[in-house]
Amino acid sequence: MILRITILLFSLTALFVSASAAAPLKVSQATPAKGSETRQSAIAILSIIPAQGEPGRTVTLFGSGFSEDTSAFLGNTPISARVLSSKQLSFEIPRLEPGLYALYLQRKDGSTSKIYNFAILPQKPIVIDVEPDRINACDSPGQRSVRITGRNFLPMSKVMFDGAAIKSRYVSPEELWFTAPDVPAGLHQVQVENPENTFSTTIALFIDSKPEILGISQGGEYVNTYNLIIEGRNFHQNSTLIVDGKRLSTSGTYGTGMDRFTYVSCSQLIYERYPYDSSPKNIRIQVLNPNGDSSPVVQITAP
């Protein structure tokens, strides 16, 4: 009886082991821990706006796979890029020589985008202002210095005056100086040219030949005469002084009397007056230049 029970137990054990060996094992897949990193998508550029530009201009790239560790390259030059989202970033074109460059993106994990051609254009100069913008025709060369302010000036920039290059002095990317040439009065054009034949827009410089009386003061007094000192601008050696409608020359009047004037400089005349009495009178004075330009009439009270 004992033998039969032993044999039965042995048979049941063998059957269980055989069934267990034949059944497939169930393996459960581990779930990634919360917060673990997933593999980033491939980096790709879909559009470049604009596809070319001058240094200083902003370029925006649209695509995919962008992250904070994405760097932009133009040729071998790394560029500081601003990532706006995983699909958009922008950068400013650096100061590089004009030409065609390979543009691509690269992440720290080694992922690199496709390479695209990007053209850097010659930098165009920008003129904002000239100071002064008005020069007197009779000013000396030392009084004809003009300052140009703007952007993108280079040591090799040229100042163009009425389309012709003139001597100039480079101070900084925002400042140039030149001396206005001796040219006829009127409106003239100033422009800046950079290498690679890039030109700024033109700005006007006015050369004024019209005489103007700025002030009259009394000078020396003599037995029968006294002097009136006339200060102003754009007086000429051959200018005519008109006093109360009478034209005076440097030798005397074109009528009666002994009044005359002396040319001192383009900013000063001396009127030598012979009063017939010492009572104050209203006197109207005007300067007429050889080209027909005349000053406004100035009225003073003098003997």
CATH number at residue 264: 2.60.40.10
Which carries the bigger pLDDT value, residue 8 or residue 218? 218
What number of H helices and E strands is found in the chain?
A: 1, 27
User: Among the three residues 152, 183, 208, which one is the final residue of a domain in this structure?
Assistant: 208
User: What percent of the chain has a predicted confidence (pLDDT) above 70?
Assistant: 84
pLDDT at 299 (0 to 100): 95
Model confidence over 143-200: pLDDT tens digits? 899 999 999 999 999 999 999 999 999 999 999 999 999 999 999 999 999 988 899 9
The count of domains in the chain is 3
My answer on whether 217 and 202 are in the same domain is no
Model confidence over 43-102: pLDDT tens digits? 999 999 999 999 989 999 999 999 999 999 999 999 999 999 999 999 999 989 899 999
Domain membership flag for residue 169? yes
Domain membership flag for residue 35? no
Domain membership flag for residue 4? no
CA distance readout (Å), 46 to 65, 115, 116, 132, 182: 11, 11, 10, 50, 57
User: Among the three residues 180, 208, 236, which one is the final residue of a domain in this structure?
Assistant: 208
Domain membership flag for residue 22? no
The closest alpha carbon to 96, from 118, 70, 128, belongs to 118
Domain membership flag for residue 150? yes
Domain membership flag for residue 229? yes
User: What percent of the chain has a predicted confidence (pLDDT) above 90?
Assistant: 64
pLDDT beyond 60 at 19: no
Q: Which residue carries 């393996």 as its tokens?
A: 27
Domain membership flag for residue 79? yes
Range of the domain at 187: 126-208
CA distance readout (Å), 264 to 4, 208, 226, 253: 151, 20, 17, 18
pLDDT at 257 (0 to 100): 55
